[in-house]
Amino acid sequence: MTTRLRSVVDDLTINLAFYTRLPLACRLIEGSELARASWAAPLAGAIVGLLGAAAYWLARAGQLPPWPAAAIAIAVTLAVTGCLHEDGLADVADALGGTSRERKLEIMRDSRLGTYGASALIASITLRISALASLTTPAAAAIALIVAHMAGRAAIPGFMTLIPRARTEGLSASAGPAPSASATVAAAVGIVALMAGLPLRCALLALVAVAAVLFIMARLSIKHFGGQTGDVLGAVEQCVEIVVLLSAATQMAAAA
């Protein structure tokens, strides 16, 4: 194996070890190492999406209707990732109910699930299942799921780079900003996945929606937390994943 190929495999392994619960023989990962290898985050997302897509295809092949098949697919992705990003979304939703910046950061550290967090999780899972179920063609659903997971993780390195850290400790702080080259490559991979995987109209809608999500999340994180944290990055992934699936679902709505 060439040195360059070995480097690519190592970076992908680092991302899979962090973003999934797949049984990989990987050493303890340093935050700075994860930031450097973050260009491969969308590739790890592709594997998560592929596993969910396989579950959807098997469920549909077993004559299950779209809704339960979509629920199974989303459940598989939750199991593969260990609900890593869902945890971030829930913590951010709960923290937004805090009364001060310090209190909000404290709430994000609390492992208990509050009402806002539970509601955010219900909304996230429901939106993803319903969007996926609307794509009644197994191939369209599979591609949309893969692309959504790629785009969700492609947005993280750039957000890490552009938005200041809210804390001086924690995973996001130890990782630091992703190198500009890594953030650029990750974003490019995400854009290419959207343009290649979705119909042009859906892809353009998804790009606009993702840009809006990133802008809103940036404003919220700076206003309420003083910057981004690991939980904020998880919430970013979830929001991007949702809007990409919803954008893909507009294909069926337009055809109706």
Please tell me the predicted confidence (pLDDT) of residue 5.
80
* pTM assigned to the model: 0.93
CA Rg value for the chain: 18
| Residue 255 banded pLDDT, cuts 50, 70, 90 | low
Are 220 and 163 in contact by the 8 Å Cβ rule? The answer is no
pLDDT of 168 higher than 70: yes
Average pLDDT, the chain: 92
As a whole number of angstroms, the distance between CA 223 and CA 80 comes to: 33
Please tell me the predicted confidence (pLDDT) of residue 23.
86
For the beta carbon of residue 162, count every other beta carbon within 10 angstroms. 13
More confident residue, 85 or 5: 85
pLDDT of 189 higher than 90: yes
Are 239 and 213 in contact by the 8 Å Cβ rule? The answer is yes
Are 5 and 113 in contact by the 8 Å Cβ rule? The answer is no
Please tell me the predicted confidence (pLDDT) of residue 28.
64
Are 248 and 131 in contact by the 8 Å Cβ rule? The answer is yes
| Residue 101 banded pLDDT, cuts 50, 70, 90 | very high
CA atoms within 13 A on the CB side of 215: 6
Domain boundaries, the chain: 42-255
For 166, the token pair is 């809210």
Query: Quick one: three-class SS letters along 226-241?
Result: CCECHHHHHHHHHHHH
As a whole number of angstroms, the distance between CA 23 and CA 82 comes to: 12
